[in-house]
Structure formats: structure tokens, C-alpha cells
Amino acid sequence: MATSPTSPASDAGDIKAVPVRHYGRWLFALIVLVFVASLLSSAIRNDNFKWDVVGDYLFADRVLRGLWLTIWLSTVAVVLGIALGTLLAVMRLSDNPVLRWVSLAYIWFFRGTPVYVQLLGWSFIGALYSTISFGVPFGGPVLVSANGNDLITPITAAILGLGLNLAAYQAEIVRAGLLSVDEGQVESAKALGMTGAQSMRRIVLPQAMRVIIPPTGNQAIDMLKTSSLVATIGVADLLYSVQLIYAQNYQQVPLLVAACIWYLLMTSILSIGQYYLERHYAAGNVRELPPTPLQRARARAASVRFGGPGNPG
């Protein structure tokens, strides 16, 4: 509805400016605070959590070994997933129909079946193929050959299961990122004499990163937790390690709490990394970036030292 010239806005000069008091907002915040505080104190004071046991096991050898395995297993799986996913995305956007279809079929299969089943599948591969060999198909010479069970250890199965599944999702993330880059950019790159690979690496990918990074961060954080599925194929990651411990001492709750503390710590570190990575690739974006917490702290310190007006917020 259009405002008519006689709208009350013309009387605005008479209105006294009184800051609006958000009584409702304050009340709601108070209720939430009380609720959170009681929840925390109930957890801290509840003896069933056995915080002393949590403390004992947090840095236990077996827990730390499990933690280390979770860290490097997730890292390898994420690196494999990102590399393969990027390749699949480029294949899907290629002019070559064979590459396009292979990529499509891959994504169809690995997104369409549960990751749990894929993990089990890789661990059974020794049973399915007693020897695994690479060579010219249909009776050609065999180049490399190995016993299925020797080649696919539980760890290898875990890496393949997690990494190959991630790649299918990552392919779609990267594809969306590549498609988000303006076509004129490829034109410009070509006109300046870049080859296809150069324009992809120097122009398109860096710009696509802005779209790719947030969901990729999600994937990495997710992988830390999804990797706990490898317990089912007998790989002693963080979760499986604490499970093995409480199978003996029956201290389920404190050990699970200890594991969660480590998971939270790792995901927090990843989130911070993601924040700075996003800022790095936001260079040249139209919107001004807000200062990082570090920059803010520094600005505040400087304003205190020089007695300046300071940086609000």
C-alpha cells in the first residue's frame, strides 16, 4: 500500500524519541539463562557423571591413541574426499560425455547407499575378491596383483569407505561452487591467453572457494564424528577405544563424556580454521569484513593504551 501525503509521518516532528524497552526480550533471556545454569549445575553436581573418572581417563594412553587415530583417519578421508570430489565435479562439467556419465554414476551410487554399508563392503572385499589385480581387462596382461585381505586392511577399508563416500557429496559442493562463478570470468581468462587448466586453477577455483568452503567445513566436522562408525569394522578410533575401556570397567557415562570433550575440542578448532579460511577467500568481496576477534582485541588494547575513543563493538 502506498503512503498518502497526509499520512501521520508528517506529524513525526511531534513524537518524542524514547528508546523502546524490550521488556519481553529481557524476560525471555532471563528464563533461558536460569534454565541453562540449572542444567549445567545439575550436570556438574551430579555424582553419576563422576567427573573425577572423566579426568582420569581424559588423558589415558588408550584414549589418546584412539584420539590420534580419529584425527589422522578423518584427515586422510577428508583429503581423499576433497581431491576425488573436485575431480568428479570437473568431470561432471566436462564436454566429454564419458567422463560426465562416469561421474554421474559414481555420485548416484555412493550417495545412494548408506556409508555404513559401504564401510562393511570395503572390509568384506577380501572375501569378495580373493586377489585384486590391475591390468588390461578381458584377458590382457596383469600388471599388479595382491591378495585381497593383505591389500584391504581394516584401516584401508575405513579410509576408502569414508573418503569415497565423502567424495560423492563433495563433488556436488564443488560443482555448485564452479557454477557460481560468472561465465564472463572464463571468457576473460581465455581472452588473456590462459589454457583451460590455467583458467580453472587461477580464476575459477579461487572464486568458487567462497561458495565451496562453508559446506566443506561442515563435511570435515561431520567426518570427525562419522569416522566413529569404523568401530564396527574393528578400527580403534576415539569412540571404539573408550567403548573397549568401559566394556571392562563399566564406567560408560564418564568415558563417553571424556570422548565428547575431545570431539567438541576438535570440532571447535576446525570451526575456527573454517572462519579464517572463509575470510581468506572473501578477498575482493563487495561486503566489508568485520574484524576478527583478534583484531578487535588488539584495537581495544590500543585504544586503552592511547586513551583514544576506542572501537565500538
Partner 1 sequence: MIRFDAVTKRYPDGTVAVDSLELTAASGQITVLVGPSGCGKTTSLRMINRMIEPTSGTIWLDDTDTASMATHELRRQIGYVIQHAGLFPHRTIVDNIATVPFLLGTDKKEARKTALELLERVGLPPHFAKRYPAQLSGGQQQRVGVARALAADPPVMLMDEPFSAVDPVVREQLQDEFLRLQQELGKTIVFVTHDIDEAIKLGDQVAVLRVGGHLAQLASPVELLSRPIDAFVAGFVGRDRGYRALGFTTAGTLSTRGEPTVTLGAAIPKGTDTDTWLLVVDAQQAPQGWLDLGADFTGHETVSDELLYRGGTLATQGGTLRAALDACLSSPSGRGVVVDDGGALIGSVTAREVLELIEARETERQP
- Residue 142, H or E segment: strand 142-147
Work out how close the CB of 286 gets to partner 1 at its nearest, in angstroms, rounded to a whole number: 5
The residue among 139 and 184 lying less far from partner 1, judged by its C-beta, is 184
Residues at the contact surface with partner 1, assessed by CB under 8 A: 184-185, 187-195, 198, 203, 206-207, 281, 283-286
Query: Which residues touch 8 (CB under 8 Å, ≥6 apart)?
Result: none
Query: Which residues touch 83 (CB under 8 Å, ≥6 apart)?
Result: 167
Quick one: CA dihedral 113, 115, 116, 122, positive or negative? positive
The residue among 50 and 279 lying less far from partner 1, judged by its C-beta, is 279
The residue among 188 and 303 lying less far from partner 1, judged by its C-beta, is 188
Work out how close the CB of 78 gets to partner 1 at its nearest, in angstroms, rounded to a whole number: 24
Residue 208 CA to residue 217 CA, distance in Å, equals 14
Q: How many CB atoms lie within 10 A of CB 300?
A: 13
The residue among 61 and 288 lying less far from partner 1, judged by its C-beta, is 288
Work out how close the CB of 211 gets to partner 1 at its nearest, in angstroms, rounded to a whole number: 12
Residue 310 CA to residue 313 CA, distance in Å, equals 9
Q: What does the CA dihedral 30, 36, 37, 41 come to, rounded to 10 degrees?
A: 160
Work out how close the CB of 185 gets to partner 1 at its nearest, in angstroms, rounded to a whole number: 7
Work out how close the CB of 57 gets to partner 1 at its nearest, in angstroms, rounded to a whole number: 47
The residue among 168 and 203 lying less far from partner 1, judged by its C-beta, is 203
The residue among 194 and 299 lying less far from partner 1, judged by its C-beta, is 194
Beta bridge partners of 133: 145
Grid cell, residue 241, equals: 577405544
Closest CA to 258 of 13, 34, 67: 67
DSSP state for residue 13 in the 8-state scheme:
G
Work out how close the CB of 191 gets to partner 1 at its nearest, in angstroms, rounded to a whole number: 4
| DSSP state letters, 67-84 | HHHHHHHHHHHHHHHHHH
